Amino acid sequence: MPQHIVIIGNGISGITCARNVRKQSNDDITVISSETEHFYSRTALMYIYMGHMKYEHTKPYEDWFWQKNRIQLVKDYVTSINVNGKNVLLQNGASINYDKLVIATGSVSNKPNFTGINLIGVQSLYGMPDIELMNENTRGIEKGVIVGGGLIGIEMAEMLLSRNIHVTFLVRENFYWDNILPKEEATLVSNHIKEHHVDLRTATELKEIKGARKVKSIITNEGEEIACEFVGITVGVSPNISIIKNTEIEADKGVLVNEFFETNIPDIYAIGDCVQHRNPPPGRKAIEQIWYTGRIQGETLAATLCSKKTAYNPGPFFNSAKFFDIEYQTYGKVNPQQGENETSFYWEHKNGRICFRAVYRKDNEAIIGFNALGTRLRHAVCDKWLQEKRKIDDVMSNLDQLNFDPEFCDHYEKEILSAYNKQTMKNIKGKKRRKLSLFNW
C-alpha cells in the first residue's frame, strides 16, 4: 500500500528526494514551500537581478512536470509539526497527515545585532523574496556597502556593479575569504575584486548603521563614516530549524541526524542545509551547506524511503564558485594553513588571474587536495585520485588528464610541471593522453 511522504521545503534537497522517490515507488508525495510555487535554481538568483534571466528561466522543470509525475505542490507555511499525530499544520489552517516526514527547510541568513539593522535599505540575500526586496532597495541609488567576505558577498557586489552602483566591501579578514583560502589564492582574488572597481576594505568591520527611516551611512570599527543608500548583510547562514521548536525532534545548530538522515523520532528525516550530522563522514563537517551535497542527500534519503536503506557517502569534498570572471574549484582538503604533516605545490600565472595548488602529505606524498582558479579541473579525475591517494609525482606527470578547459583554450600543464620540478628539484616528465577530435572519434 502506498505511503504518504510529506517534504517540507522545495530546494535542491527536497525536490531531489521527491523526484527519486517517484522514480522508485508509487508513494503519494506532497512538497510544501512558502517561498515559491515551483522549484527554482537558487544559484541563479543573481542573474535575475542583473537582467540576464527571468524567474521562469531558473525553473529546471516545466510547470506541468509536477502533476504529470504525481508530486503535489502546496504553497503555504508549516506552522507546527504534530509528532504524535503524524501531521503538519499549515498557516491557512489546513492539516496534512504523513506516514514519513522529510524536513528540508534549508538555511536562513544570519542577522547580527548591529544598531540600525532594521532600517530600510538593509538586507541579506538568500531567496526569491530577497531579490524582490533588493530591486526595491536599490532602485535609483548610487552607493552601497556590503558587509561580510563570503560567496554571497561577492555575488552581491557583482549584482550592484551591474547597475552602476558604487560598492564598498567590508571584510574583517586581512584578505578576501582568507579564512577559507590560503594566502596566495586569497591575495589573487582580493586583487581581482579591486580590479573590478570595488572599494575592498580588508581588516575592517561594521560598527553601526546610521539613518532615520532609511539607511544613510555606516560607521566602521575605525570610526570612519561611509555614505550609502544600501547595506547588504552577507555574514553567512545558519540552519533553518525554527519549524521544530516546541517538538521532541532533537537539534543543536541544525536538525540532528544519523548517516541515514533519521532524526530521533521514527519516520521523521531531515536533509540539506538544515541538517547537522551526529557523526559526519570522514573529511566532512557536521554542517555542510553546499548545493551538490544537498542533491546527494536527497538521492540517498529517497533510497531509504523506498526500502533500500542507504548510508550517506558524499565522497571527497568539492566546492566551486565564481569571483566575477574567475572560476574557482576546490577538491579534498585545502585549508588556509597547512597541517603538521601537510605541504603543497603552488603555481600562479604571471597574469595574476590563474593558479593551481596541490596539497599532499609529507610522509607518503599522497595527494589530499586541489585548488584551481581561472582554470578548470576534471571532477571525476580529482575525485578518483583523492580516493586512490595518488602520489604527487604521479599527479604532476598526468596533469593533462586533470585539465577540463575547452580544446581551444590555453593550457598550462607544461608551465605547471616545470615550476614543480624547479621547486622540488625533481625531473618529472609529463605524460600526454590521446585526445579525440572530429576526425578520429
Domain boundaries, the chain: 4-34+44-108+238-305, 122-235, 318-424
The grid coordinates of residue 38 equal 515551483
Instruction: Give the tens place of pLDDT for each residue, 176-205.
Output: 999 999 999 999 999 999 999 999 999 999
pLDDT average, residue stretch 383-387: 97
Instruction: Give the tens place of pLDDT for each residue, 207-229.
Output: 999 999 999 999 999 999 999 99
pTM of the prediction? 0.93
List, in sequence order, the alpha helices (H) in 40-150. Answer: 45-49, 64-68, 128-137
pLDDT number for residue 358: 98
pLDDT average, residue stretch 327-340: 96
Instruction: Give the tens place of pLDDT for each residue, 140-163.
Output: 999 999 999 889 999 999 999 999
pLDDT average, residue stretch 403-419: 90
Q: Return the bridge partners of 97, or none.
A: 87
Residue tagged 600526454 (cell numbers): 432
Residue among 209, 213, 193 nearest 201 (CA): 193
pLDDT number for residue 40: 95
CATH code reported for the domain at 4-34+44-108+238-305: 3.50.50.60
Contact call for residues 184 and 348 (beta carbons, < 8 A): yes
CATH code reported for the domain at 318-424: 3.30.390.30
Asked if 4-34+44-108+238-305 and 122-235 have one fold, the answer is: yes
The grid coordinates of residue 68 equal 504529470
Surface-to-core class of residue 337, CB atoms within 10 Å of its CB (0-12 exposed, 13-18 middle, 19+ buried): exposed
pLDDT number for residue 289: 93
The grid coordinates of residue 223 equal 570610526
3-class secondary structure for 214-244?
EEEEEEECCCCEEECCEEEECCCEEECCHHH
Q: What is the CA radius of gyration of the chain?
A: 24
pLDDT number for residue 1: 84
Q: Report the alpha-carbon distance of residue 177 to residue 270 in Å, rounded.
A: 30
State the pairing for strand pair 255-257/237-239.
unpaired
CATH topology of domain 122-235: FAD/NAD(P)-binding domain (3.50.50)
pLDDT number for residue 433: 58
pLDDT average, residue stretch 267-292: 96
The chain-wide mean pLDDT, for the chain, equals 95
Question: Considering the chain, what percentage of its residues have pLDDT values greater than 90?
Answer: 94
Q: Report the alpha-carbon distance of residue 92 to residue 295 in Å, rounded.
A: 30
Count, residues in the chain: 441
Question: Which of 91-100, 188-197, 382-391, 426-435 comes out lowest in average pLDDT?
Answer: 426-435
pLDDT of 305 > 50? The answer is yes
pLDDT number for residue 3: 97
pLDDT category at 439 given cuts 50, 70, 90 is very low
Q: Report the alpha-carbon distance of residue 337 to residue 335 in Å, rounded.
A: 5
